[in-house]
Amino acid sequence: MKVTVLFESDYGNTAAIADAIAEGLRPHAQVDLRPVDGGSIDADLLVVGAPTHVHGLPSARSRKALEQEAAEREAKGETLEYHPTAAMRRFIDDIPAGDGRKVACFDTRFDRSVILTGSAARTMRLRRLRYALVIILLADVGVLVYGAMAAVAPSALIPGYESYSSRTWLELVAADTQTAAFVLLLFWLLGAYNVAFAVLAIAIAATAFRRGEGWAWWALLAGNTLGFGAPMVYDQIVGEIGVFEMLEFVGIAAIYAALAATVPAGRSRRPPDLVHR
Ligand SMILES: Cc1cc2nc3c(=O)[nH]c(=O)nc-3n(C[C@H](O)[C@H](O)[C@H](O)COP(=O)(O)O)c2cc1C
């Protein structure tokens, strides 16, 4: 079996772990160990590792900050073991997927709970999340726009009342002004509820889901099912199905597809917990 071990490292910790992994594999496989680069990969198993920076994979900004700090410390006469490799983030998207090759991710990080430290391995494993993230954000921004529209102009939902009751709005206002005002209040509340739901879903998607936290996946599944399901049932009951209402079907279908592509891995499929001590 052929194994390629690619790593990013600045101060050598991740390089040392990559080295240890390669050593462990050598009796069983032909191992190619090297800092990450754009070179070709001829392997049945690919192992990729990186240090954790700011809860995830090192970014251009975190690497720049590190470079500046190293320059300042060197200017003060400190001796540093600072030997930065290329950035994993630059190459990870080019790693071919879907050809049956197995990929394992590892990282180095502080010796604390992963909730506190974050994990570069998890970010690498979940890079495919970003397509799902865009889809979920678009759908939930749609809900936000709809909710804001209903909250600002609750009268936009009047066609639903007219379709359900087979009476015109003016008839209701003429018959009972207070009931008409109450119905408008409920429409406003529906809009406000949609805004609150969408803001929460967008916040969870943009933070915890993006970091690959399992609870966020479940929260988005449950929240979107409820958030889209309730107005969809309402639309069916009142019999008001227009273009906008059809978009709800498209939105929830897109969200389910995005979530299906990013089902959280079970405990046994997690990347190995290699911790820098
Ligand atoms: C800019 C920067 C940000 C970091 N952020 C985190 C972090 O969010 N969580 C963590 O556990 N460790 C963090 N660390 C610690 C590194 O992940 C850890 O020291 C790692 O082993 C460094 O790997 P290297 O020696 O291969 O460069 C950070 C280090 C740096 C320099």
109 alpha carbon – ligand 1 mean position (Å): 5
- In this structure, which residue's CA is closest to atom 23 in ligand 1? 51
Does 53 contact ligand 1 (Cβ within 6 A)?
yes
Closest CA to 94 of 127, 50, 49, 52: 127
- Give the nearest ligand 1 atom to 8 CA: 26
Which CATH code, of 3.30.40, 1.10.3720, 2.40.50, 3.40.50, is assigned to 2-128+265-276?
3.40.50
Predicted confidence (pLDDT) at residue 125 exceeds the cutoff of 80 = no
Instruction: Name the region of 46 (left: φ>0; alpha: ψ -120 to 50; beta: rest).
Output: beta
Q: Percentage of residues in the chain with pLDDT exceeding 90?
A: 70
* Domain range summary for the chain, segments of one domain joined by +: 2-128+265-276, 130-260
Query: Which residues in the chain belong to E strands, given as ranges?
Result: 2-7, 30-35, 45-51, 102-108
pLDDT in tens, 213-261: 788 999 999 999 999 999 899 999 998 787 778 889 999 999 999 998 8
Predicted confidence (pLDDT) at residue 47 exceeds the cutoff of 90 = yes
Region 131-142: mean pLDDT is 93
- Give the nearest ligand 1 atom to 276 CA: 21
Closest CA to 10 of 36, 32, 38: 36
What are the b/e assignments for 6-26, b being 16+ CB within 10 Å?
bbbbbbebbbebbeebbeebe
Does 211 contact ligand 1 (Cβ within 6 A)?
no
- For a mutational test of ligand 1's pocket, the pick from 110, 116, 124, i.e. the residue with the most ligand atoms closer than 8 A to its C-beta, is 110
- In this structure, which residue's CA is closest to atom 29 in ligand 1? 53
Sheet containing 2-7: order of strands: 30-35, 2-7, 45-51, 102-108
pLDDT tier for residue 128 given thresholds of 50, 70 and 90:
low
122 alpha carbon – ligand 1 mean position (Å): 14
Does 270 contact ligand 1 (Cβ within 6 A)?
no
Predicted confidence (pLDDT) at residue 9 exceeds the cutoff of 50 = yes
Does 119 contact ligand 1 (Cβ within 6 A)?
no
52 alpha carbon – ligand 1 mean position (Å): 5
